[in-house]
Structure 1
Amino acid sequence: MKKSNIENGVDRISELPDPILHSILSRLDSTEEVVRNSVLSTRWKYLWTSIPSINLMSGPKPFGENRFKEFVYWVLANRTQGLDSFSLRCSNHYDMQTIGRWIHLVVMRKVKKLTLSLGCGVNDEAIVLPRCLVDCDTLEELLLAVYLLSRFFEYEKFHGSKTLKVLRLHNVELLDNDLVQQFLTNCPLLEDLSFIDCLTYNLDSLVISCPNLKTLRIYNKGLDYDSVIKRKKYEEEKLCERLTLICPKLVSLWYEGHMANHFAFDVKSLKKAMIELEDVDE
C-alpha cells in the first residue's frame, strides 16, 4: 500500500467514515498488520483501537516468544471499545495460565466470538479455560482448535455458558461423558455444535442432550487412529461404544467418519441428514 495522496493539504483517506475505515482494516490478515499500516493516514494512527475484531498469530516472524506476549498485552491494553471477535493462534510456547490472562482481558471487553487455535501445549498440559468465561454475558460463539497433537479439554473451571449459541471443537479429546453432558446442559441456548476430529476413547457412551440444538456436525475422517493409539498408549483400541442424541429441535445433522459403534437418535424435528460411516480398520 502507498501512503494516501494529499491534494491541497487534504488527506482523502481521513475523510472516509469510521465504519468504512474499520471495514478496510478488518480485511487485513492480522492485527499486527493493522497496527503496522496505521501510519498510512493520520486518522488511522489510533483508529485500529476501535476495530471490532482482533486477530493475533504467533510465529517465528516477526515476533519472538516474549515479544509476542508483550504485543498481545499491549493490543488489549489499548482497546477503547468492546470486541465482536477475538482470534488467537499461538504455538506451544505459552502455557494455559498465560493464555487464561489474555482471555480474562478479552472478557472484560465484552467479546462475542472467541476463537482459540492452540499448539500441543507445554508438557502436553490440558486445555483449561478460565472461570471468567462462565460469567461472560456476551459470549455467543466459541471455537477451540488444537493443531499438531490433540489435547484434553478440562471442564473444571469453564463448565458451561448461559449465552453460548455456537460451539466448535477441533482435535480435542473428550474423556468423560458426565462432564461433557454437564457442560452441554449448562449451555441452554446452544444451537450449533461441531465435533471435528475429536477423540472419544475411554468413553463407554457419549450423550448429546441439548434442548435447543438445531445443527450438529460430527466429522472424524481426518483422524489417524493408529498413530493416536500408539502415542497415547491406550489399553484398548476401541471407539466410544454408544452415541446418543437427544435433541428435539435438531434440524440438520452431518455425521462423517467414526465416533461410536452404536447409535440412538431422538431427533423429532430433523429435516436434513447426511450420514457417512467409515470403518476404522480401512
Structure 2
Amino acid sequence: MIGFLHGIMGFFSWNDGISSWNDGDHDFDVSGWICAALCRGVKEIDLKLNNLGDVSPVFFTCHSLVNLKLDGVGSLDELGSNIEVPSDVFLGNLKTFYIRNSKFVGDSINRLISNCHVLEDLAFIGCDVANASELNIQSPSLKKLALSNFYSLDHVMVINAPNLVYFQYSGEIVEVHPLSNMKSLEKAELRIWFQSSDDEIQDCDYETSVAHLIQGICNVRSLSFSLEVEISSQLPVFHNLIELEF
C-alpha cells in the first residue's frame, strides 16, 4: 500500500485500491486521511480507490483544491466506483480534473462541472453516466477537454466551451448536439468506432452525431482523425488547418 501526504498546503496521493485496512493492531480509514488533508488546505489530490463513492461529501466543497485526479480502479468489463455528487458541490479553485473508471449517478456529473468556475483541464476516461439523459459540459474557462471510452451510449452530449484550445474524443459515438463555435480550438484528436449492436447504432443516429462533432471543430489548426465508420455526408472545410494526421 502506498500513501503520501506532503505538507500542510501540499499534495496528497493514495494508490492502493482499498479505502481501509487492518494491520492486526489498528484500523485505518483512508477517508479520514483525505478529510484531514482537505481541512489543512491541500492543493493537489491523486486518489486511486475501489470505491470513490465512500469519499466524504467534504471532498466536493474544498476551496483549496487546484488539481484533482481520481481513479475508481475498474476493470475492462466493470466500472470501479459509483459517484453521487452532493447538491452543495463547489470547487471554486479547481483547475485540473481527471477521472477514470467511475460512474456518475443522476445529474452528478453536470452538477460537478457547473460548479467548477475556473476549470481549465478536464478528462473523463473509461467513465459512464447512469440515470441521466445528458452529459452537459458548459464552461467558459475550459481550455482542454478529453472524453475517452464511455461505457454506454444512452445519453446526449452537449459541449459549450468557447475558449477550448485542445479537444480529444476517443470511443464509440454518443448522440451529440451541435457544438458551439470553437474559435479558439488549436488541436483536436478524434478516434471514433462502433462495437454496439445495429439497434444501438440506429438509435444513436451516429452519422448526424459524427457530423455535429466534426463541424464543431472545423476551426482547428491541427487535427488527428480516425473514423472507423462510414458516413455519407460531406466533411466541412477546415480553413485554418495546417497539420493533418489521418
**Could you say whether these structures have the same fold, taking a TM-score greater than 0.5 normalized by the shorter chain as the test?**
yes
For the Cα contact (< 8 Å) 2:101–2:125, is it kept in 1? yes
For the Cα contact (< 8 Å) 2:60–2:85, is it kept in 1? no
- Structure 2 equivalent of residue 156 of structure 1: 86
For the Cα contact (< 8 Å) 1:134–1:162, is it kept in 2? no
TM-score with structure 1 length normalisation? 0.58
For the Cα contact (< 8 Å) 1:253–1:272, is it kept in 2? yes
2:38 counterpart (91, 102, 107):
107
Deviations, residues 244-275 of structure 1 (Å, cap 9, x unaligned) = 10111111100010251334311332221111
- Structure 1 equivalent of residue 102 of structure 2: 172
Q: Which has the higher strand share?
A: 2
Deviations, residues 194-230 of structure 1 (Å, cap 9, x unaligned) = 000001354322111112000000111xx7x6xxxxx
Structure (1 or 2) with the larger CA radius of gyration:
1
Task: Name stretches of at least 5 consecutive residues in structure 1 with no aligned partner.
Answer: 1-55, 58-71, 226-237
1:200 counterpart (112, 129, 148):
129
Q: How does 1:234-249 map to 2 (within 5 A)?
A: 239-249=153-163
2:145 counterpart (194, 207, 216):
216
The Cα RMSD (Å) is 2.7
- Structure 2 equivalent of residue 187 of structure 1: 116
Deviations, residues 84-122 of structure 1 (Å, cap 9, x unaligned) = 211101233629x93321111112332111011012x4x
**Structure 2: how far apart are the matches of 1:134 and 1:200?**
18
Say if 2:12 is the partner of 1:86: yes
Aligned-pair identity in percent equals 26
**Structure 2: how far apart are the matches of 1:157 and 1:130?**
13
Q: How does 1:58-77 map to 2 (within 5 A)?
A: none
**Structure 1: how far apart are the matches of 2:138 and 2:174?**
16
For the Cα contact (< 8 Å) 2:173–2:192, is it kept in 1? no
Shift of 1:157: 6.8
More deviation, 206-215/194-203 = 194-203
Summarize the Cα distance change of 1:264–1:188 in structure 2 as closer, same or farther, 3 Å threshold. Answer: same
Aligned length in residues: 186
Deviations, residues 19-62 of structure 1 (Å, cap 9, x unaligned) = xxxxxxxxxxxxxxxxxxxxxxxxxxxxxxxxxxxxx61xxxxx
TM-score with structure 2 length normalisation? 0.66
1:144 counterpart (36, 58, 70):
70
